[in-house]
Chains A and B, each alone.
Chain A
Amino acid sequence: MAVPVQAGGAEVVVGRRKREWPLAVILLLPSAVVFGLFVFYPLARTIQLGMYRSDPFGGLGRYVGPSQYWDVLTSESFLRSLGVTLKFAALTVPTGLGLGLGLAVLGHQQLRGIGVYRTIFSSTVATSVAVASLMWLTLLNPSIGLVNQALTKLGHEPIIFLQRPGWALVSVAMATVWQNLGFTFIVISAGLQSVPDELLESARIDGAGPWRRFREVTLPLLSPTLLFAFVVLSINAFQTFGQVDLLTHGGPLHSTELLVYHVFQRTSNDPSTAAAEAVVLFGIVLLLTLVQLRVLERRVHYGD
């Protein structure tokens, strides 16, 4: 008699689902409205806009179809900006991870007053992009900036950090690494705390020195955390805007024109191409986010 019982059970479930529908709609409505209005509708419009060619007077212009996406993907300016963004990611992500890991390992020591250092190391999460950028603008100023004063004291010529093509991107990267450091420090510190003390004590008794303990016990157990931080920093790199706008305006010679800034600049004179670029950027970040979700899933099931 298992079959009818099962069928009955299913009917009960379906019946309950039907009854709960109105409640579900009511509960979902507020967030559906907010997301629809501010995320999905603009997204759909952007995708649509990406298939038109802008007219000079700001109207929708002529429909050209999905081919515009291909044009954007292969355009020189977009590829250049993508290249700058990749270079920026290469400058910020590994350095950020390395410094974050270093600080977290230092902050993990049981020392007197370590709490003060932990607070200092994590403080940049509480700093806005604008404040951080202004601070770096001052620090890197050719005449009054502390960095150049230090360089001059060391007998080095002052460097015009933000106006030299070779230095501008590095400078924006420095500001970004600094800005991200608090987040990286906190995430990796949390990861370090989840490494059981007994494993490290056991390794110590078993004859492993500090370096072997770090490499063979701490690092493997930390790897899910590091992977997570890596993905988040990469997404951050692809979404960077504030630092560029405040420090360099994308210059000199487009050398700091990251994707978001590139799209932003395009929007005023060529909104439809900008829209297509924005959608491509969305695709890239979406891909990174999917990777991140996979990482988080693995993190949950890690270990025993």
Chain B
Amino acid sequence: MASVAFEHVTKRFGDVVAVEDLDLHVDDREFLVLLGPSGCGKSTALRMIAGLEEPTEGAIRIGEHRVDGVDPKDRDLAMVFQSYALYPHKSVRQNIEFPLRSRKVPPAERTQLVQDAAGQLGLSTLLDRKPRELSGGQRQRVALARAIVRRPAVFLMDEPLSNLDANMRTATRAELVELHQRLGTTFVYVTHDQVEAMTMATRVAVMSEGSLQQLGVPQEVYDRPANVFVAQFIGSPPMNVVPGPVAAPLGVGRDDVVVGIRPEHLMIGTAGISAIVRVVESLGHERHVLCEADGHRLIVRCPAHGDAPVEGDAVHLSARPEHLHLFDASSGQRVA
């Protein structure tokens, strides 16, 4: 049980700044998701907690202890890698047992702990198999079992679901949330998948180009994105962002702002921004109407059934004032 804190941490690889002045406090028992596109520095941040990379500047704390410079094994944490990093020549049992043997846990206790961990993840019947004899989902469970077996203070996960197929991923998301609740341990979870962030995180930290963009509860980040990057990164399809003058019919019209409107908040009617329908995508449960207004693309989310425009139609798009997000045109930061 421990909190994790980045205190003005910067990491440079030669001339490349991977993480810039990251100041972030992860509470004890929190499920914090580091979210961002590839190359945004989220994995580097995670690896700095693990001790696989050392910060160039700043401090990292786990609980009360400053850990930068401390060997990974003395940080009391476990990590699940994207590739699972299972030892191919060891059986499932030996894989799960490895952290215990490294730390000289007596054999009798080891057996008990391995059985507990395997039982929790439904691996009890697979203990004598080799990783290559397991499915992707089972391998992922072995990696999780190996992480929980020692009851570390902090769990680090680096895109642990990205090698699973879509169904497995959905099922495992719920299991991870359950595991987090059961263990009551701090989780720091790296992903580029906003759905994982929205569904699992107690708080999400959105990163881009090495710096923290926004930190908050998922719903809050979705409802009030701090800047254009966050607005467009979270949400699928992404938020529509158009220059102020284009949104003039909605009552904005200022040219020092850009206006963001989520696709579900745009309504097709008789008043508002005039646009031409370019493509209508049907997803089964809903339809996405891609429109073009003054050279800008706008996506409208419509119900799957009922009237909808077709390609080439001239339409008018409107939105309620409380659904408009205003961002500064030059900095991209939220104004209202």
Q: Could you tell me if A204 and B87 are in contact, using CB atoms closer than 8 angstroms?
A: no
- Which chain A residues border B85 with CB–CB below 8 Å? 196, 198-199, 201-202
For residue A301, which residue of chain B has the nearest CB? Answer: B132
For residue B79, which residue of chain A has the nearest CB? Answer: A205
Please measure, in the bound complex, the distance between the C-alpha atom of A216 and the C-alpha atom of B99, giving whole angstroms: 12
B72 within 8 A of partner (CB): yes
Against A, the Cβ 8 Å flags (1 = close, 0 = not) of B270-292 are 00000000000000000000000
Known: A205-B73, A206-B102. Contact between A198 and B87, CB under 8 A? no
Against A, the Cβ 8 Å flags (1 = close, 0 = not) of B253-275 are 00000000000000000000000
- The list of the 4 closest CB pairs from A to B, nearest first, reads A304-B132, A207-B102, A206-B99, A202-B85
B60 within 8 A of partner (CB): no
Given A207-B73, A304-B132, 8 more A-B residue pairs with CB atoms under 8 Å apart are: A198-B83, A201-B72, A205-B52, A205-B75, A206-B99, A209-B73, A220-B87, A220-B89
Q: Could you tell me if A205 and B51 are in contact, using CB atoms closer than 8 angstroms?
A: yes
- Which residues on A are within 8 Å of B, measured CB to CB? 196, 198-199, 201-209, 212, 216-217, 220-221, 302-304
Please measure, in the bound complex, the distance between the C-alpha atom of A183 and the C-alpha atom of B81, giving whole angstroms: 34
Q: Could you tell me if A203 and B77 are in contact, using CB atoms closer than 8 angstroms?
A: no
Chain B, 17-74, CB within 8 A of any chain A CB:
50-52, 71-73
B88 within 8 A of partner (CB): yes
Please measure, in the bound complex, the distance between the C-alpha atom of A208 and the C-alpha atom of B90, giving whole angstroms: 15
Q: A136 to chain B: closest CB distance in Å?
A: 39
- Which residues on B are within 8 Å of A, measured CB to CB? 50-52, 71-73, 75, 77-79, 81, 83, 85, 87-89, 98-99, 102-103, 130-132, 146, 150
Within 8 Å by CB of B89, from A204, A207, A221, lies: A221
- Which chain B residues border A201 with CB–CB below 8 Å? 50, 52, 72, 79, 81, 85
Q: Chain A's interface: helix, strand, loop or mixed, by majority?
A: helix
For residue B103, which residue of chain A has the nearest CB? Answer: A207
Q: Could you tell me if B50 and A205 are in contact, using CB atoms closer than 8 angstroms?
A: yes
Please measure, in the bound complex, the distance between the C-alpha atom of A206 and the C-alpha atom of B148, giving whole angstroms: 11
Please measure, in the bound complex, the distance between the C-alpha atom of A204 and the C-alpha atom of B98, giving whole angstroms: 11
Q: Could you tell me if A208 and B52 are in contact, using CB atoms closer than 8 angstroms?
A: no
Residue from B72, B75, B83, B132 with most neighbouring chain A CB atoms (10 Å): B72
For residue B133, which residue of chain A has the nearest CB? Answer: A304
Q: A190 to chain B: closest CB distance in Å?
A: 18
Q: Could you tell me if B89 and A206 are in contact, using CB atoms closer than 8 angstroms?
A: no
Q: Could you tell me if A204 and B83 are in contact, using CB atoms closer than 8 angstroms?
A: no
Would you give 30 A-B contacts (Cβ < 8 Å), ordered by A? Answer: A196-B85, A198-B83, A199-B85, A199-B87, A201-B52, A201-B79, A202-B81, A203-B87, A205-B51, A205-B73, A205-B75, A205-B77, A206-B78, A206-B98, A206-B102, A206-B146, A207-B99, A207-B103, A208-B73, A208-B102, A209-B73, A209-B102, A212-B102, A217-B87, A220-B87, A220-B89, A221-B89, A304-B88, A304-B130, A304-B131
Known: A198-B83, A303-B132, A304-B131. Contact between A208 and B98, CB under 8 A? yes
- Which chain A residues border B99 with CB–CB below 8 Å? 206-207
For residue A219, which residue of chain B has the nearest CB? Answer: B89
For residue A213, which residue of chain B has the nearest CB? Answer: B102
Please measure, in the bound complex, the distance between the C-alpha atom of A205 and the C-alpha atom of B158, giving whole angstroms: 14
Q: B244 to chain A: closest CB distance in Å?
A: 48
Q: B153 to chain A: closest CB distance in Å?
A: 13
Q: Could you tell me if A204 and B131 are in contact, using CB atoms closer than 8 angstroms?
A: no
- Which chain B residues border A216 with CB–CB below 8 Å? 87, 98
Q: Could you tell me if A204 and B146 are in contact, using CB atoms closer than 8 angstroms?
A: no
For residue B130, which residue of chain A has the nearest CB? Answer: A304
Q: B7 to chain A: closest CB distance in Å?
A: 22
Please measure, in the bound complex, the distance between the C-alpha atom of A206 and the C-alpha atom of B97, giving whole angstroms: 10
- Which chain A residues border B52 with CB–CB below 8 Å? 201, 204-205
Q: Could you tell me if A204 and B88 are in contact, using CB atoms closer than 8 angstroms?
A: no
Q: B46 to chain A: closest CB distance in Å?
A: 11
- Which chain B residues border A202 with CB–CB below 8 Å? 79, 81, 85
Q: A220 to chain B: closest CB distance in Å?
A: 4
Q: B14 to chain A: closest CB distance in Å?
A: 13
Please measure, in the bound complex, the distance between the C-alpha atom of A220 and the C-alpha atom of B131, giving whole angstroms: 15
- Which chain A residues border B88 with CB–CB below 8 Å? 221, 302-304
Q: A205 to chain B: closest CB distance in Å?
A: 5
- Which chain A residues border B131 with CB–CB below 8 Å? 304
For residue B73, which residue of chain A has the nearest CB? Answer: A207
- Which chain B residues border A304 with CB–CB below 8 Å? 88, 130-132
- Which chain B residues border A303 with CB–CB below 8 Å? 88-89, 132
- Which chain A residues border B75 with CB–CB below 8 Å? 205
- Which chain A residues border B72 with CB–CB below 8 Å? 201, 204-205
Please measure, in the bound complex, the distance between the C-alpha atom of A304 and the C-alpha atom of B73, giving whole angstroms: 27
For residue B139, which residue of chain A has the nearest CB? Answer: A304
Q: B100 to chain A: closest CB distance in Å?
A: 9
- Which chain B residues border A221 with CB–CB below 8 Å? 88-89
- Which chain A residues border B79 with CB–CB below 8 Å? 201-202, 205
Please measure, in the bound complex, the distance between the C-alpha atom of A196 and the C-alpha atom of B82, giving whole angstroms: 12
Please measure, in the bound complex, the distance between the C-alpha atom of A304 and the C-alpha atom of B150, giving whole angstroms: 26
Please measure, in the bound complex, the distance between the C-alpha atom of A205 and the C-alpha atom of B75, giving whole angstroms: 8
